[in-house]
Every structure is written in C-alpha cells, then in structure tokens.
C-alpha cells in the first residue's frame, strides 16, 4: 500500500507523462487489453443503449478533455443500491464454512456435506402414511347459482321473480355501494410522515412502519484514463438519509482485498469533487486475460462489448453495489 507521500508523487508523475504522451490512436484491444478514446466512446455507446441506467455526461466544461466529444466526457449511473456491507458477505461465508462436516473416506479422500439445519428433534424413521388423517369436513362457503326459470301457471310469481333477477338501477343509493378494502393498497392511516426544518438543513423523518426499504446508494462514473489507456471507475456514496458517505464508510462496501489498496480517494477529473476510485493499474492485464479466454472458447472478442466485460470483473471489488451490466455473454 502506498503512503500519502508516494501517492502524491505518483499522481504528479502521471499528470506530467499524460501531458507529453500522445493519445493512443491505434487499436491495441486484442494485443494489450487497452482502448483508444474512440473505442471507449464506442463501448460507452453500447452500454448506454443496452443499459438505460447509464448515461453520457459532459461534466464541468472547464475540465473537458480534447480527445473525447464534449457531450461524452464520462459515463454515469445514479442511485445504485447497496443493500449490504461487504463484512456481511464475509461473515456469511465464514458461517457457511463453520457448518460444514468433514466426512472421511477410508482415510484417503474426503468430501464435505452441509450441516443439517432446522428441527433436529424429528425422528429419522420414515413417517407412516397410514397414520395420516384427512379431514372430510367441508369449509363453510356460500354459493349462489342462477337457474333458468320454468313456466308455471302463476303469472304473478313470474313477475316477482323477474323483478328480483334484474334490479332497477334507480333504486340504488350511494350508501348501498360498499367499497371493499384492498389489502394491497397502502392505507393513508398506516403511514405518517413528519418533516422537521432547521436553519442549517431540512430532513424528512418517516416512521419505521412505512414499509420503505432504506439503503445506501452510489453514483458510479466511468472515465477514460489516458495514462493507462483503460476505463477508470469512480464511486460517490450516500447513506440511508441521502447524506454523503465518509471515506471510511465507503470502504465498508469495498472488498477487504482491495480497500485502501487499489481503492483510494481523489478528485473526480470532470466534476472536481472527491470520489473513491478503483486504481486502473491492473485493468489492462485483466482485460487481456478475459479477451484471450473468449478467443480460446471460439468467440470473437468485440471492442464495443469492452465495458460489459470490464464491469463484470469490477464487481469483484464492489460485490454489494448492484449496478447494471445486463448484457449477458460468456467469456
């Protein structure tokens, strides 16, 4: 892990090199797993077309880069849910391992079986079906049937039956119409909200029984990194009350192997505010492996699908942030 001083030195070095290094113009997608700016735009166009939650953004005009279109400076998706902390997943994984039983096979090979859960008092013997009882009682139901009337000699009865079968709409009053309660409709009486306003801020406080799931959310953006010639992912998080997350809170949603190592805090190149970002130093090498795997499996790698492959492996770093990369294909 780099110290703050080392990070500052490296950042200054990268900026200097970017100024003197020409922009990549020849495709090296298959050879090195990198992108030209034109290929980045091409891949971004497919992402925004297939996943409507992603959009192109222009950002601060004073921070625009000349090698990308003004209206396509970076990609952004907003309000991405993050339901759990990474620690929760790690604890569940440890608990699952703790419940495993190791079964030996003659002292040589072994395999693992899950620990039985639930009611352990149930007898292992099979239940005798003959002991089961079936209740023949029928439920109390009310059934209304309509039969075709038959002709009789009593005309008055026929008139009365006809009048009973077809009611006159004029006889209905407003109090005869009963509106049935739909259990699927949320009653106004069940939910109440109170709003408190102070001089510094205004917060909305909703009672705990309002049936609304509150969770952390993230704004995720993807920029083009000229130095590494790959995409770079940026994260800006909000808590359950839409207040910005502190850096240490953001790291709660980063995998333990990457927090404070490949994920650090820096100023967003197009917005000028602090974001967490995933360092792109290994992006090209990983993408090269994924591209080679596609070729080995008889599939022709497509540069416009780059970001879908890219977002798949980025999910290893942020496994609980559920962003959209819905185009499905095998690597």
Cα–Cα distance between 24 and 287 in angstroms, integer? 17
Asked if 82 is an active-site residue, the reply is no
Cα–Cα distance between 31 and 46 in angstroms, integer? 22
DSSP, residue by residue, 70-121: TT-SEEEEEEEEE-S-HHHHHHHHHHHHHTEEEEEETTTEEEEEEPP-S-TT
CA triplet 212, 322, 318: central angle to 5 degrees? 125
In DSSP terms, 105 is beta-bridged to 109
Q: Using the CB atoms, write b or e for 39-75: b if 16+ within 10 Å.
A: bbbbbbebbbeebebbebeebeeeebbebbeeebbbb
* CB neighbour class for 223 (10 Å; exposed up to 12, middle 13-18, buried from 19): buried
SS3 label, residue 238: strand
Cα–Cα distance between 53 and 68 in angstroms, integer? 21
Cα–Cα distance between 255 and 257 in angstroms, integer? 5
Helix (H) or strand (E) holding 40, with range, is helix 37-50
- Say which residue the tokens 């509150």 belong to: 214
Q: Using the CB atoms, write b or e for 279-312: b if 16+ within 10 Å.
A: bbeebbebbbebbeebeeeeeebbbebbbbbbbe
Helices (H) and strands (E) in the chain, counts: 8, 10
**φ/ψ of residue 252, rounded to 5:** -70, -20
Cα–Cα distance between 64 and 74 in angstroms, integer? 10
In the set 101, 103, 281, 285, the catalytic residue is 281
Catalytic residues: 281
């Amino acid at each position: 892990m780099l110290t703050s001083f080392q990070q500052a030195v490296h950042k200054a070095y990268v900026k200097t090199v970017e100024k003197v290094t020409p922009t990549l113009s020849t495709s090296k997608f298959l050879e090195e797993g990198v992108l030209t700016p034109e290929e980045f735009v091409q891949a971004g166009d497919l992402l925004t077309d297939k996943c409507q939650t992603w959009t192109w953004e222009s950002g601060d005009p004073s921070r625009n880069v000349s090698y990308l279109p003004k209206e396509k400076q970076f990609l952004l998706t907003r309000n991405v849910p993050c339901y759990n902390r990474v620690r929760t997943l790690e604890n569940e994984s440890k608990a699952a391992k703790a419940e495993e039983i190791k079964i030996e096979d003659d002292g040589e090979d072994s395999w693992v079986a899950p620990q039985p859960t639930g009611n352990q008092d149930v007898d292992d013997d099979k239940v005798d079906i003959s002991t089961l009882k079936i209740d023949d009682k029928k439920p109390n139901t009310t059934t209304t049937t309509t039969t075709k009337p038959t002709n009789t000699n009593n005309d008055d009865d026929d008139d009365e039956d006809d009048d009973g079968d077809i009611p006159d709409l004029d006889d209905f009053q407003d109090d005869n119409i009963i509106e049935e309660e739909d259990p699927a409709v949320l009653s106004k009486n069940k939910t109440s909200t109170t709003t408190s306003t102070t001089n510094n801020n205004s917060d909305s406080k909703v009672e705990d029984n309002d049936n609304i799931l509150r969770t952390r959310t993230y704004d995720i953006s993807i920029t083009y990194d000229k130095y590494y010639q790959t995409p770079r992912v940026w994260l800006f998080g909000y808590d359950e009350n839409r207040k910005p997350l502190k850096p240490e809170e953001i790291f709660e949603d980063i995998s333990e192997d990457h927090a404070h190592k490949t994920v650090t805090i820096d100023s967003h190149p197009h917005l000028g505010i602090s974001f967490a970002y995933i360092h792109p130093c290994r992006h090209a090498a990983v993408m090269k492996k994924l591209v080679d795997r596609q070729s080995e499996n008889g599939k022709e790698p497509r540069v416009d699908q780059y970001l879908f492959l890219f977002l798949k492996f980025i999910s290893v770093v942020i496994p609980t942030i559920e962003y959209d990369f819905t185009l499905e294909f095998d690597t």
